[in-house]
Amino acid sequence: MARLATFKTVATAFAALVTALAPQAVHASDPYGQKTVTNRNMTLTASLGTDPHWGPLAAGLKVSGTAVNVSFNGQGNTGANYQGSDPWSGVKIKKITGKIADSDDMVWTTFAGLPPSASGTGRARFASTRFPHGSTVTLSVKVEFDLFLPDGDEIPDGTETVETTADLSAYNAELSWGNEDDRPPINGLTNLPTLKDMSEFEVLAFRAAIVSNLNHLNLVPAPHSDQFQIGAALKHATSVYASTHGTSQGLNDSKTISQGQVGYMPWATIESAVTSQRILPSPNWVFLYACGTLGGGPDVLDAFNLPEAVTNDPITWSRFLIGFDQDVVSFLKPNSSGGEDGLLPLTILDLFEDLTADPAVPKGSLRMHFNRVLQGMGVSPTGSATLPVVTAQAALDAANRHFPPRRVAGAQLLYLPAGLAGDPRSTMKRVYRRPIDPPSAASPSWYLTLP
């Protein structure tokens, strides 16, 4: 038996060599991201795939966010037209190797199925924020097949390798605007910066963190924009930040301060700007540092084409909105310990020690709050300390406790935590992980190999 096994092994090696040298019939009509070859009577295919909500796979397909799922596929079937001798009776997938741009090789070797056909898929996920906006993200797959003659044993009689690639485009674009309200943030305290000054520095700080840390394109360079500039940019934005006036029915542009003015944008107006004729990925995150916006319930989520609940559909993954459900004041008192005492009611006098006349210094302003959210998600603004990376909800909870926002209630300032709608497990820099996914690595990673 040992001699027979040795003979079969040598014969297998020879057959593999013959197979490798034999001309392949390549299918010229393959769709993009797929390659099919015919070996005798066997059709062998390697292909790449993405989630359907991005659209059909095509060169330069735009993808965005931290939950971009991709698949690396192999399939083999007998039945191709073949009139020669020794037709194959079976096929198995030995190995699938996939790569995302400069990632390490991802390898899958366990696949269900028996001859005369075989199919297998390797899955992975990556964050578009790893790549500069508009850059090419090349997917590649190599499928190694074992081929069998009808001799009844499990030693392959031939092999075949099929490879192909596909190019995606990383799409990361940010829109941010402030408000030109020249009034002081607290009535009567004229020695403080105006709301215009504060919102301008908040916008520039948020924008700098997103552009430099998350590879985003800035759509509107000015920190203040009117409704037409905002409306034109919304259909392109995957990151939105607003430091302006708002209500439960909508948001103001930079030029207006109340709901009745021309620059006020109801949710329906924003929704039309975001979704009308949109062929690009929808927003991944929205930060609304404005009064009352979360009071809009489902309408505010619809306005930015964000999901109301997380489901098994990947289009709902890693997308969120942060805002306030009541009127919020522009200043706060830091609570360094994060303890309950720092959340107790305050008076305006309690804030004085934390206020500053220099709008470039975030001391005592809401900018400290969103800085802490970004830090918690691995998006450290310039000069900020590095913190362990957590999910959106955990980062927001920490920001609420260490830099508690406030609302006015008579002579008191009461704790008003910012709220999150959408996916609480969202990420901004680290690749998104569901509870059923493999455990997180010790440090943030931009891609994830899935079972």
Residues 157 and 178 in one domain: no
Residues 129 and 215 in one domain: no
φ/ψ (deg, to 5) at 421: -120, 150
Highest mean pLDDT among 33-47, 187-201, 360-374: 33-47
Global pTM reads 0.90
Residues 137 and 188 in one domain: no
Instruction: Please count the structural domains in the chain.
Output: 2
Domain that holds residue 203: 173-450
Residues 72 and 157 in one domain: yes
Q: What is the pLDDT of residue 380?
A: 76
Q: What is the pLDDT of residue 12?
A: 47
Q: What is the mean pLDDT of residues 203-207?
A: 93
Q: Which of 170, 188, 219 is the last residue in one of the domains?
A: 170
DSSP string, 111-124: ----TTEEEEEEEE
User: What token pair was written down for 179?
Assistant: 């408000």
Strands (E), 67-157: 68-78, 90-100, 106-108, 117-126, 136-148
Q: What is the pLDDT of residue 13?
A: 44
Count H helices, E strands: the chain? 8, 22
What is the Cα–Cα distance from 218 to 224, expressed in whole angstroms? 13
pLDDT range class, residue 279, cuts 50, 70, 90? confident
pLDDT in tens, 47-63: 999 999 999 999 999 99
pLDDT in tens, 364-389: 789 899 999 999 999 976 656 667 78
Whether the CB-CB separation of 426 and 432 falls below 8 Å is answered with yes
Residues 239 and 345 in one domain: yes
Neighbours of 327 (CB within 10 A): 16
Residues 178 and 160 in one domain: no
Query: What's the whole-number average pLDDT of the chain?
Result: 88
What is the Cα–Cα distance from 144 to 53, expressed in whole angstroms? 29
Highest mean pLDDT among 11-20, 274-283, 426-435: 426-435
What is the Cα–Cα distance from 233 to 324, expressed in whole angstroms? 24
Residues 343 and 443 in one domain: yes
Highest mean pLDDT among 127-141, 278-292, 328-342, 428-442: 127-141
250: helix, strand or coil = strand
Residues 194 and 251 in one domain: yes
**CATH number of the domain to which 380 belongs:** 3.40.50
Of 199, 286, 185, 205, residue with least CA distance to 243: 199
Residues 330 and 187 in one domain: yes
Q: What is the pLDDT of residue 151?
A: 79
H/E run at residue 15:
helix 2-21
Q: Which residue has the higher pLDDT, 440 or 345?
A: 345
DSSP string, 379-412: -PPTTPPP-----HHHHHHHHHHHS--EEEETTE
Residues 186 and 161 in one domain: no
For residue 308, pLDDT beyond 60: yes
